[in-house]
Structure 1
Amino acid sequence: MELKVDESLMTILDAISEGITIIDIDGKVIFGNKAYCNFIGLERENLIGAELKKIRSSAKLPEVIQSGENLMHVERKENGEYYFVNMYSVYSKDRVIGGISVVTFFNEAFDFKKQIEQLEKKMETKILRINKANSARYKFESITGVSKSMVDVKNTAMQVAETDMTVLLESETGTGKELFANAIHNFSLRKNEVFIAINCANFRGEILDSELFGYVEGAFTGAKKGGKMGLFEAAHKGTLFLDEISEMDISLQAKLLRALQENIIRPVGSVTDIPVDVRIICASNANLKAYVKEGKFRADLYYRLSVFPIKIPPLRERVEDISVITIDQLKNISKKLKRVIRIDQGAMEVLKKYHWPGNVRELVNVLEFSSFKAKDGLITLECLPESLYAVEEINTNDKLSERVRAFEKREILKELNKYGADTEGKRKAAKKLGISLASLYNKIGD
């Protein structure tokens, strides 16, 4: 059978950017597409019918059809240009009748690879945006508070939300820093863009580096093929919330400072900067000023972050909010439990007198715990954890040692409410408090 290329096939092969050459069993060229003719600098009429070896002495295709075996991914360099060739034998009824070579030019392959990478990044961005869309669920209306201090803080936060200032939320644990971060984003001009939150305390320095700034392929052992987009890039045009910023490795703080000052990031292992437009909200329950003095936090980063600090008051300093938050949370709990949950005056008074070291988060946990114990849906004193009303057992007429013992017992009971009163729970509570299990039993009188 004679190997031929008809007009239709010519048209198809001419549309391909790779260089295509077809030879017969004698090694004569029966076709070369436009890309191949341009590559070797010959007109097609001068190519057809010529022996390939006479045109290109280094051509391996005639050897391929002699062996009958394909030759793949052969790298070549010519006139300073790199390319690679795949060569195939063409069979008809188990007999070789010719051969075909496909030349792929490195520049085109590289450009194609770049296009694929860009497409993957766009897809990654879209996926992130779909996953994170509307993740800023809370608005200022979601933050319950009638006290003057809380109303003032909310008003201040609303004012700064309308700007693009970096915000530092400073407060104790459980006061609702992430709620404020959500609300600030949702009240800003970026409200229709992505909101991404990350807790810096959950990652070691090098892991947090790649999470925030991404990495390129081959940046380190185990790096994902094609690299990974960082959260800064994913949050472009939106808001990035850095919780527990105080726990960020100090070596990474310089990189964060540069990102904030220059609005550019550099992925791990890359030599190229990427421009980003991200609004930063940070939160810390640690004393950052003290961290600066101790050398745990960069002073220049602290001043850059604290352009507009917002201090959320702890719950014990706004007692009038306790009843409002309680009523609001009981509505949510009622929906979850599918029954109406209420609280009597006696139990409410205990809640108001408690010092709430865990703030609103602790109050919500207490209400959820008490709701399960509430008979007929009414939370009474008996439904509350013992640690809450144990505070009233401290007698100010007692000696200091007795007061200390009462205080220690109350703190231990608080931990037991978290971990459980069984042996395993007591063991965990003792470990959390830094005392032995024997000391725990001694202090609570068991």
Structure 2
Amino acid sequence: MEHVLNSVSDGLTICNSDGIIVFQNEADRKMFEVDARYLPVMEFVERGIMNESVTMKVLKSKKREDIVQTFANGHVVLVTALPIFDEAGNVEYVVANSREMTELRDMERTIERLESQSAQYKEQLEALKQQSSTSLIAVSKAMRQVIEKATRIANVDSTVLISGESGAGKEELTKLIHQLSHRAQKPMITVNCGAIPENLLESELFGYMGGAFTGANKTGKPGLFELASGGTLFLDEIGEMPLSLQVKLLRVLQESEITRVGGIKPIPVDVRIITATNRNLYDMVQRGEFREDLFYRLNIIPLRIPPLRERKEDIVPLAYRFLHLVMEKYSIERTIEEAAVDRLTQYYWPGNIRQLKNFIERVSLLTQQSTITLQYIQREFQKPEYQQHNPVPLVDDTFTQTPIYDQNQTLKNQVDAFERKVIKEALGQYPSIRQTAKALGCNQSTLVRKIQKYQLEKQVSYE
């Protein structure tokens, strides 16, 4: 009989009611890489040679049990165990059949890698598709809500105040509103109120009459309000506008007319005004640095663009879009590793979209390879300009700074404790098993087994 059982390609073990292995065929010894005969099965669990014992589950449940078992040597097997009862109805033996699944696991990893590549290509195509219709990319819920609101108000002429950090995309959002409005065929003119000297800003906005001041054109010059008539005038950095000009801007909003510098005759203008700022205008009003009446007139429709760090889902498609633009602009071919793209999502990006765009262009041009690697990205992030602004360290130096060895614990217990802590913290940061497993670099089934092993009771979705 033993010769027959040894000829079977599957692993076979028989344990008695005490959990002692009384038989192990040759296939199981080869798979297990240990001669386990006449040893308690729990010893191998305690030594970390295998993750759990199906035999002990059967002895407890008194019914068939199926598990996916992993061994320390890397083998993964599907184990089916059946109880054999004595005449009194007690479990006398447990027969376990083990079928090798390592090849299947390797196939699973290959499929996961291909799915990941497919998702990567999908994101690139989505970025290119969005680029053809709008210069904004909104994958995150927060940004989609901004775009949705901007789309709804595009065809009304109420003033819009866009707030957001520098580089967040305020001008791009203004372009979108203009393109979707009934004024799309008319000009959109952008004025940076902080970039024009105070003594020139008035004549730039309102124009001037001939001979209004020394050096003025004899025939005069129309201002930007006149030039933008019928279209949209975008006043960026509105918080930098001097108080003296704020009064005149308020008059334009109330009367829809301007008066050129040196002139006396009002000129009607039909223009929609959109303003933007990276400052807190309400606080400026409280300090007397911005007119309260103008603030409320500009703030009829407020739109806030969240910083890039609050919409990390947009970083990956933005990175692919900027990479495409660089290749198109400089006629070069570049790809970027998935791990490198993931690394981009971990940075704080204080300069928001503008900083990300410049970063992609720089690494694309400076790398000596056709593929932008994770190692290259990491080297860039070690430069002082990235370290000083990032509240979260880009290099985890916990192990170099904090002693973690406990002489009172075995290596396995310390590794298990650390692994449990990592998994618990990751589960708290991600809403689903799939996302948590992806972040930890393991497959879902492995993560589920470890959650059960460490008795982590947090309920999460598998979506």
Give the TM-score of the pair, scaled to structure 1. 0.56
Residue 251 in 1 paired to residue 244 in 2?
A: yes
Tell me how far apart the structure 1 counterparts of residues 359 and 376 of structure 2 sit (CA, whole Å). Answer: 10
What does residue 191 of structure 1 align with? 184
Residue of 344, 358, 382 corresponding to 1:351 = 344
Distance change >3 Å, CA 306–CA 347, structure 1 → 2:
same
Tell me how far apart the structure 2 counterparts of residues 266 and 372 of structure 1 sit (CA, whole Å). Answer: 49
Residue 267 in 1 paired to residue 260 in 2?
A: yes
Distance change >3 Å, CA 210–CA 394, structure 1 → 2:
farther
What does residue 278 of structure 1 align with? 271
Tell me how far apart the structure 2 counterparts of residues 308 and 139 of structure 1 sit (CA, whole Å). Answer: 27
Distance change >3 Å, CA 207–CA 326, structure 1 → 2:
same
Q: CA deviation at 1:354?
A: 0.3
What does residue 338 of structure 1 align with? 331
Distance change >3 Å, CA 209–CA 331, structure 1 → 2:
same
Distance change >3 Å, CA 227–CA 350, structure 1 → 2:
same
Distance change >3 Å, CA 286–CA 215, structure 1 → 2:
same
What does residue 233 of structure 1 align with? 226
Structure 1 residues not aligned, in runs of 5+: 1-137, 400-446
Residue 172 in 1 paired to residue 165 in 2?
A: yes
CA RMSD between the two structures:
2.0
> How many residue pairs were aligned?
262
What does residue 307 of structure 1 align with? 300
**SS, match of residue 264 in structure 2:** coil
Residue by residue over 1:344-397, the C-alpha shift from the partner in whole angstroms, topping out at 9 and shown as x without a partner, is 123222211100000010001110111013333211134332345783236579
Percent identity over the alignment?
Answer: 45
Residue by residue over 1:318-365, the C-alpha shift from the partner in whole angstroms, topping out at 9 and shown as x without a partner, is 111111111111111111222221111232222111000000100011
Residue 316 in 1 paired to residue 309 in 2?
A: yes
Residue 293 in 1 paired to residue 286 in 2?
A: yes
Q: CA deviation at 1:219?
A: 1.3
Residue pair 2:257, 2:268 contacting (<8 A) in 1 also:
yes
What does residue 71 of structure 1 align with? none
Tell me how far apart the structure 1 counterparts of residues 143 and 290 of structure 2 sit (CA, whole Å). Answer: 29
Residue pair 2:210, 2:217 contacting (<8 A) in 1 also:
yes
**SS, match of residue 394 in structure 2:** helix
Distance change >3 Å, CA 173–CA 254, structure 1 → 2:
same
Tell me how far apart the structure 1 counterparts of residues 163 and 399 of structure 2 sit (CA, whole Å). Answer: 37
Residue by residue over 1:270-310, the C-alpha shift from the partner in whole angstroms, topping out at 9 and shown as x without a partner, is 11111111000111011111111121111111100000010
Tell me how far apart the structure 2 counterparts of residues 379 and 236 of structure 1 sit (CA, whole Å). Answer: 47
**SS, match of residue 291 in structure 1:** helix
Residue pair 2:235, 2:274 contacting (<8 A) in 1 also:
yes
Structure 2 residues not aligned, in runs of 5+: 1-130, 402-463
What does residue 366 of structure 1 align with? 359
What does residue 204 of structure 2 align with? 211
Residue pair 1:342, 1:377 contacting (<8 A) in 2 also:
yes
Residue by residue over 1:384-432, the C-alpha shift from the partner in whole angstroms, topping out at 9 and shown as x without a partner, is 3234578323657999xxxxxxxxxxxxxxxxxxxxxxxxxxxxxxxxx
**SS, match of residue 190 in structure 2:** strand
**SS, match of residue 134 in structure 2:** helix
What does residue 394 of structure 2 align with? 392
Return the letter of the residue paired with 1:350.
Answer: R
Tell me how far apart the structure 2 counterparts of residues 162 and 323 of structure 1 sit (CA, whole Å). Answer: 31
**SS, match of residue 206 in structure 1:** helix
Residue by residue over 1:24-58, the C-alpha shift from the partner in whole angstroms, topping out at 9 and shown as x without a partner, is xxxxxxxxxxxxxxxxxxxxxxxxxxxxxxxxxxx
Residue pair 2:138, 2:147 contacting (<8 A) in 1 also:
no
Return the letter of the residue paired with 1:169.
Answer: I
Residue pair 2:347, 2:394 contacting (<8 A) in 1 also:
no
What does residue 328 of structure 1 align with? 321
Tell me how far apart the structure 2 counterparts of residues 275 and 372 of structure 1 sit (CA, whole Å). Answer: 50
Q: CA deviation at 1:227?
A: 1.1
Residue 158 in 1 paired to residue 151 in 2?
A: yes
Distance change >3 Å, CA 396–CA 314, structure 1 → 2:
farther
Tell me how far apart the structure 2 counterparts of residues 240 and 161 of structure 1 sit (CA, whole Å). Answer: 14
Tell me how far apart the structure 1 counterparts of residues 163 and 400 of structure 2 sit (CA, whole Å). Answer: 37
What does residue 57 of structure 1 align with? none
Tell me how far apart the structure 2 counterparts of residues 294 and 396 of structure 1 sit (CA, whole Å). Answer: 45
Distance change >3 Å, CA 398–CA 249, structure 1 → 2:
farther
Tell me how far apart the structure 1 counterparts of residues 322 and 396 of structure 2 sit (CA, whole Å). Answer: 29
Larger Rg: 1
Residue pair 1:143, 1:179 contacting (<8 A) in 2 also:
yes
Tell me how far apart the structure 2 counterparts of residues 366 and 294 of structure 1 sit (CA, whole Å). Answer: 37
Tell me how far apart the structure 2 counterparts of residues 373 and 213 of structure 1 sit (CA, whole Å). Answer: 45
Superposed counterparts of 1:106-185, under 5 Å? 141-185=134-178
Distance change >3 Å, CA 378–CA 217, structure 1 → 2:
same
Return the letter of the residue paired with 1:313.
Answer: P
Give the TM-score of the pair, scaled to structure 2. 0.54
Tell me how far apart the structure 2 counterparts of residues 282 and 223 of structure 1 sit (CA, whole Å). Answer: 28
Tell me how far apart the structure 2 counterparts of residues 240 and 146 of structure 1 sit (CA, whole Å). Answer: 28
